[in-house]
Amino acid sequence: MSVISALPFLKPIHLQPLRSSPGRQRRHTLPASEFRCLSPEDAISVFEIEREAFISVSGDCPLHMDEIRHFLNLCPELSLGWFEEGRLVAFIIGSLWDQEKLSQDALTLHKPGGTTVHIHALAVHRTFRQQGKGSILMWRYLQYLRCLPYVRRAVLMCEDFLIPFYEKCGFRVLGPCQVTVGSLAFIEMQYPVRGHAFMRRNSGC
């Protein structure tokens, strides 16, 4: 059973349409809104959203198609997708890391013994931006991480202009990141994942 399905606050949200009259057939068969871990079958949808979101701003994607499939095969439980009527509209992909600071290896490796979740990418489909979906998805993801007993913190690297967004999500700046991609430099940020015992007692983890 998926870890998410066991958590009351992370169970898929099914927003059903209003009931129609008995003489009408239901027009919608898919839940209006759903959160779940991603699978390798979602890789193409993930890459399409990521490519459009990042290439126009940074000129490259945090994850290429083979890397997306790589992480969704190795650690799908560290991903989260937001679906509207079956269509992926936003996602987060993470993996485990086992060192204090991110390095170039962190871009492609998953360290099963690690206690740090490296968030590789957060992206929202262009038609669903400016609606707060990125912040909502990140909040749900961080709450989910609280129920994974081996996770102690989450880290990410971002460009300067994204620092205010992640600070509002609860991250704090650690300093310049050792990782570079081409001419791009990044800031490393951290979110301490606390409250494991409390969350397990009160949410069925």
Q: What angle do CA 190, 102, 68 make, to 5 degrees?
A: 95
CA distance 64 to 109: 14
Q: Which of 74, 88, 107, 109 is catalytic?
A: 109
Known catalytic residue at 95: yes
Known catalytic residue at 122: yes
End-to-end CA distance of the chain: 12
Q: Which of 38, 102, 141, 166 is catalytic?
A: 166
**Can you point out the beta strands (E) in 61-183?**
79-84, 87-97, 116-124, 153-158, 172-181
3-state DSSP: the chain helix, strand, coil percent, rounded to 5? 35, 25, 35
Known catalytic residue at 18: no
Q: Which of 70, 110, 118, 120 is catalytic?
A: 120
Known catalytic residue at 120: yes
Q: Which of 95, 102, 148, 191 is catalytic?
A: 95
Q: Which of 38, 80, 122, 142 is catalytic?
A: 122
Please choose, from the candidates 58, 29, 60, 63, the residue with its C-alpha nearest in 3D space to the C-alpha of residue 44.
Answer: 63
Catalytic residues: 95, 109, 120, 122, 166
